[in-house]
């Protein structure tokens, strides 16, 4: 059986906004600009952002041709998904777009039946709780290898 990682793009509409998984619409400059100033990816290179997008299922929110939100999911599409780089531009917050983005991610057909989902956040616990996320049930089994300075070193800036 052939493995299909990215099916044809899905699209959802809400008021003047369109949410799509069409990677051809992504505004890499805007995404990089936001992420490089974020608390979780400060200093990330454009090349690393591009590579992360190429290897993820991405979701963009647009009003007209302007991208105003983004998220990506890293998954094997069978057992596990990690949600990363979720944001809505400041001037578009307070309109329910973050909640809508999470609803669309959680309902995506390729992400159904997964045993485990995870994400990391310092400031959006309330948003993710609305989608069923909680603190780890068994935190004693989780481990991580975390390099806080990776984006500041020259090796991380190479393609």
How far apart CA 141 and CA 143 sit, in angstroms, is 7
Give me the residue label for tokens 């369109």: 18
Q: What is the pTM of this model?
A: 0.90
* CATH number of the domain where residue 40 is located: 3.40.630.30
Q: How far does CA 66 lie from the centroid of its chain?
A: 18
The verdict on residue 3 lying in a domain is no
Residue 155: per-residue pLDDT: 63
Range of the domain at 124: 11-157
Provide the number of structural domains found in the chain: 1
Mean pLDDT, the chain cut into blocks of 10 residues (159 residues total):
56 96 97 97 95 97 98 97 98 97 97 96 95 94 90 66
Residue 1: per-residue pLDDT: 35
């Amino acid at each position: 059986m052939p493995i299909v990682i990215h099916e044809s793009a899905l699209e959802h509409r809400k008021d003047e906004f369109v949410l799509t998984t069409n990677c051809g619409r992504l505004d890499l400059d805007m995404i990089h600009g936001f992420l490089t100033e974020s608390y979780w990816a400060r200093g990330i290179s454009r090349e690393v952002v591009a590579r992360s997008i190429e290897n993820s299922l991405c979701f963009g929110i647009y009003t007209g041709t302007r991208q105003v939100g983004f998220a990506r999911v890293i998954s094997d599409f069978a057992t596990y998904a990690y949600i990363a780089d979720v944001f809505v531009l400041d001037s578009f917050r307070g309109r329910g777009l973050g909640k809508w983005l999470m609803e669309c991610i959680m309902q995506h057909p390729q992400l159904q039946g997964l045993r485990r989902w995870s994400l990391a956040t310092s400031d959006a616990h309330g948003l993710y709780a609305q989608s069923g996320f909680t603190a780890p049930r068994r935190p004693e089994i989780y481990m991580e290898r975390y390099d806080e300075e990776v984006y500041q070193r020259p090796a991380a800036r190479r393609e």
